[in-house]
Amino acid sequence: MKRMQKAKYFLSGILCTLMLLALTEPALGALVGKTIQVYTGVNVYVDDVKIEPQDEHGNPVEVFSYNGTTYLPVRALSKAFGKPIQWEGKTLSVYVGKHSSDKPAVWLENLDYFDSDGYKHLEKTKREMKDNLGNTYEHSLYSYNDSYTVYKLNGQYSAISGIFFKTYNYRSDDRTASLKIYGDNDLLYSASVTAGVDPVEFYVDLTGVLELKICCDGSWESYGDSKAGIGNCGLWA
């Protein structure tokens, strides 16, 4: 077993807020500086897969133990569990997962695409879409069979999230629609839906990604009628 080593760090205030976050919010007036002695060299596994904690810029972040408690980077854990994370400086709060006042930096429907498979690309729907459970989505996208859409991100966004579903009118259709998300030509996420499959919520880390490509494979439409869609799809700063 790897032996942990002692190290001294200067940590500002609440350990789990600053070390864990790796966020760059400057509102620290209510926090107090403190020099402490910690133990480093802690390994973290999620479902037996080792994770390498990183900050928002992809730099390694140390996991450490202090007074019998192990402190982990919140950003790394949120990525491992597929949950968005937000730092609110005015209240010194960290939000993991859904937040009532939370909105993405931009809805994907409002972002111009860079390239596509001709006329076949993701498009904003003219009305709310309904999934196979009856849920409706104000922000929704549809596409054509076996199409792709490319967006230039230039490293401006940390993640993409949304809900992939079979539409209500085609809930009994047993043909499969697949969604694949690529970042700089690397496959980051894939999912499929067909009859009897619940809507799939996704959150994909895009830290440092310059070019986003979304592929819509399989049976997405029939004579212009949507058989699958993506709801509430947004990009996070």
pLDDT tens by residue, the chain, 237 residues: 444 454 444 333 334 433 444 444 444 455 667 788 888 888 888 788 888 887 767 788 888 888 888 887 777 777 777 777 766 666 677 777 766 556 888 999 999 999 998 888 888 887 789 999 999 998 999 888 889 999 999 999 999 999 999 999 999 999 999 999 999 999 999 999 999 999 999 999 999 999 999 999 988 888 778 899 999 999 998
Outline which parts of the chain fall under CATH 2.60.120.1060: 106-236
Out of 2.60.120.1060, 2.40.320.10, 3.40.190.10, 3.40.50.720, select the CATH number for domain 106-236.
2.60.120.1060
**C-alpha to C-alpha distance for 110 and 126, rounded to whole angstroms:** 13
**C-alpha to C-alpha distance for 6 and 221, rounded to whole angstroms:** 59
Measuring CA to CA, which residue among 43, 36, 44 is closest to residue 67?
36
Measuring CA to CA, which residue among 212, 85, 52 is closest to residue 148?
212
Helix (H, G, I), strand (E, B) or coil at 98: coil
Tokens of 169: 């009118």
pTM score, whole prediction: 0.62
Q: What is the pLDDT of residue 172?
A: 95
